[in-house]
Amino acid sequence: MSTARRLLAGASWVYSAQLLTVLAQFAYAAVTSRAVGPAGFGAYAVALAVTGLVSLLAMGGLGQTISRMDVIEPTRVRPLVTYAVLLGGGCGLILLFTAPFWGWLWGVESASDPIRWLAISSSLSPLLGLATGLMARTGKFRSLALITLSSNILGMVTGALAVIHWHTASSLVVSTAVAQTLTLVGAIISSERGLLGLSAIRKGHADIGYSRRLTSTNMLSYLTGNIVKFSMTRGIDTASLGHWNRAEALTSIPMQQIQSALIRAVYPEFRHDIEDSARAKVVWTDMLVLVAGASMTLSAVALVLVPPVIPWLFGSNWETAAALAGPLAIAGGLQILSTLLASAVEALGRFRWIVSTEVILIGVQVISAVLVLVTHTLFIAVIALILTNVVRHGWHIFLLGRRGYLDIPRLLKNYIMALGLSTFIGLGLWCSVQLVKMGGSSIMYIVLAVLAMLLPIGLFLALRRRLSIVIIARKYGIFRG
């Protein structure tokens, strides 16, 4: 089996599990969104943002560190296990005792209790990242997928029952805590004693050093992702963040599942290009062209279909979430591309590039946050998210192209083609939806709607032999014939 097909198979296993998880999340979201209002989800979103900061510290880049190892040996893994246990315990305690401070800082005191409960899962984050990273590095994608799927579904069932019973922001935490605990247990069992045993931290000095450098850059990424959210709670209200959270549940989060599956499979392969860019110039460019075709098309479909679904799925209190869903769908597709390339920069160990990128993005976020505080306009935050992904991806393309890691002219040409094709698909789907709305059960309108939907599909089939994504997929053996 070719490397490309092996990686696709690995990513497919992981994403298939995550896709089923996303479908289950839709049902879970429908139940919880009717039991807890926008303000409750706003408090929950603040708790996620706060624990995201501590989890970054707790994770310590351990999953990425073990993924890029050339050789997996107990003498290298055990110091990381020790580091993970100590780091998780310390960060969990810090989060537990500082919960009231974070609620005050964000101006959402009701977030304090969810933060305390999320301290549990934060304490497990380092070991969880290490365990899942080890499974990905050793190619156990199928086992990882099944463990993740079963843990997430059990977590959602338990969480839904908790939300129905308590109707509070804190009850929303149950699903995450149960799922992470079960995933960790399953990953440790599947590692075949690979994570059993401790060793002195100093014996893993080199690996832990990389992990710490990665943590420092991840802190900058955290600021990039949360400055504008902070301005939303301070400049508008808690409910605005709750609407954002619900819109993300049907747009950004499913796309992040794709992103996570893709990076988990591909990240270990980046280690082959750390010293030499010759292979990367062809392979990385091809990879981005393939992903751009898929992610832009997915964004176009979500842009059209998700907004009308939200009021039906969540209830009548979520009109703002429906309005946010379209732009967030665009941002989600862009984020798949930008994060994939950012992970390649990270695997290369180019920390100066990472820092320069985050400094630029923090500047964009600060300006956007000020505008949100002054104008009290929620959609500035969405524009800022889209702009952040465009700027990050553009800057990384420039840096990597200059060092010979990317073929920029070919990449940009194919990006324009992918954008045009996805736009055409989105327009066809939008026309189809509008015809159904206009005609109701009229046969003529239904036929026209089907034709509008089939037109972009027919165009794709007619041009398939000339499309770069098809040519590249055949080149690597992903498609045959």
> For the residues of 65-112, what is the DSSP string, one character each?
HHHT-SS--HHHHHHHHHHHHHHHHHHHHHHHHHHHHHHHHHT-GGGH
pLDDT for position 133: 80
Structural contact between residues 224 and 388, judged by C-beta atoms closer than 8 angstroms: yes
pLDDT > 90: percent of the chain: 35
Provide the token pair at 195.
């994570």
Query: What is each CA distance from 407 to 28, 162, 398, 400, in whole angstroms?
Result: 43, 52, 10, 9
Average pLDDT for residues 78-96, to the nearest whole number?
Answer: 86
Domain boundaries, the chain: 3-406
**Pick from 420, 214, 221, 422: which is nearest to 339 by CA?**
221
Query: What is each CA distance from 174 to 30, 120, 169, 369, in whole angstroms?
Result: 16, 10, 10, 31
> What would the pLDDT profile of 210-249 be if each residue is shown by its tens digit?
666 767 777 777 888 889 999 999 999 999 999 999 999 8
Mean pLDDT for all residues in the chain: 84
Range from 26-35, 105-114, 117-126, 433-442 carrying the lowest mean pLDDT: 433-442
Range from 171-175, 265-269, 450-454 carrying the lowest mean pLDDT: 265-269
Structural contact between residues 349 and 267, judged by C-beta atoms closer than 8 angstroms: no
Grade residue 375 by pLDDT with cuts at 50, 70 and 90.
very high
Please give the Cα distance from 123 to 120 (Å, whole number): 5
Which residue matches tokens 């950004």? 252
Does the pLDDT value for residue 1 go beyond 50?
no
Please give the Cα distance from 334 to 351 (Å, whole number): 22
Please give the Cα distance from 154 to 163 (Å, whole number): 14
Provide the token pair at 246.
């619900």
Structural contact between residues 203 and 75, judged by C-beta atoms closer than 8 angstroms: yes
More confident residue, 457 or 227: 227
> What would the pLDDT profile of 352-370 be if each residue is shown by its tens digit?
898 899 899 999 999 999 9
Contacts of 362 (CB under 8 A, 6+ apart): 220, 223, 224, 227
Residue 403 DSSP one-character state: T
